[in-house]
Structure 1
Amino acid sequence: MKRILKVTLIALFLFSGVNTFAQTLKFGHIDSNKLLSIMPEKAEAQKQIQAKAAEYDKQIKDMKAEYQTLVNAYVKDRESLSEAVRADKEKEIQDLTNRMQTFDGFAQQELQKTQNELLKPIFNKASKAIKDVGAENGFTYIFDISTGVILFNSADSQDVMALVKAKLGIQ
């Protein structure tokens, strides 16, 4: 009899501990892509990135026009050119092709660098706001549903978008 009472008390203790533990977990979720898209700083950063991209595009278009002019002139006058002049023109066209390829790679690297420099503080600000909301509201976890990794989103999981927007001062 004492043994049954002991086992029952231990079982009650264990099960009540599990229920208490499970009830203390608080989950939230947010679509970070949606959050970032409504942050005013992101729109300004995108404008700066697009302006720089347009500048590089203009330079590439100018180089392509110069290339086309050189090729057209070469094709037109090719038969009348001496071997030395023809070789010089071909080298000039090849040099311009190499410069265009080098500049294109440079432009892409610079755009990526600019994008990282402008967007990193915005990502950090959003991340800090999400972490602050989590800490202030007692969340155990806040999941990012924009990554597509979350396989299930329970009704018990709270959408924290409104809290984070308030933290960032966004309407």
Structure 2
Amino acid sequence: MFRKLLATAFVLLFAFTLTAVGQDLSIGYMNPQEVLSQLPERADIEQQLNSFIQEKRSELERESTAFQQAVSTYQQNAASMSEQEQQKREEELATREQELMEMQQSIQQQVQQRRSELMAPIYNRMDQAIAATAEANNLDFVLNEATGMGETIIYYSADQKLNVTQQVLDRMNSESN
């Protein structure tokens, strides 16, 4: 909430500063999530990402199952082991558990990196479409209608033609055909 207010205050302060200097300021806004959700290639990217996630999930499940089996085997045989042997096995299991947690974190990073790699071309096209739309409409700025968390930044616009979401989507679709 604070970030939203700070961002809004910054934009308003910037707009008032430029207006006070005597320049006319033209600002448009758009909803990038709406654009992304309507792109046909988004489904292919989601399928590739889901396939990658499933592959990594399977790797993690195999390692987790192997770890659980090792713990179960230890618990079944612990009574017949010496204290020194028990301590050694517990240390091995603790190390293996730590490796499993590190593997999980690594997989999360790999998924995030893969998502970024797959989405980069779309984001680049969107940036180009936004720039072209802004130039075509003589806009000085194009704001995001909402934050990354879905919180609205633009609550009201007296002029709906300042919403360039559909124009950006149309431009992106025409470039991909």
| TM-score range normalised by the length of the shorter chain | 0.7 to 0.9
SS in 1 for 2:28: strand
Distance apart, 1:27 and its partner CA: 4.1
Unaligned runs of 5+ in 2: 1-18
Tell me: CA distance 1:91–1:25, structure 2 relative to 1, closer, same or farther (3 Å): closer
Alignment deviations for residues 85-118 of structure 1 (CA, whole Å, 9 cap, x no partner): 3233223312211210121121112112111211
Q: Partners in 1 of 2:72 and 2:25 — Cα distance?
A: 72
- The answer to whether the 8 Å contact 1:29/1:157 transfers is no
Distance apart, 1:78 and its partner CA: 1.0
Per the alignment, residue 114 of structure 2 pairs with 114
Per the alignment, residue 77 of structure 1 pairs with 77
Task: Map 1:115-134 to 2 at 5 A.
Answer: 115-134=115-134
Q: Partners in 2 of 1:28 and 1:95 — Cα distance?
A: 55
Per the alignment, residue 150 of structure 1 pairs with 154
Q: Partners in 2 of 1:158 and 1:110 — Cα distance?
A: 38
Per the alignment, residue 136 of structure 1 pairs with 136
Unaligned runs of 5+ in 1: 1-17
SS in 2 for 1:29: strand
Per the alignment, residue 101 of structure 1 pairs with 101
Per the alignment, residue 14 of structure 1 pairs with none
The structure with the largest alpha-carbon Rg is 1
User: How many residue pairs end up in the alignment?
Assistant: 151
Tell me: CA distance 1:117–1:91, structure 2 relative to 1, closer, same or farther (3 Å): same
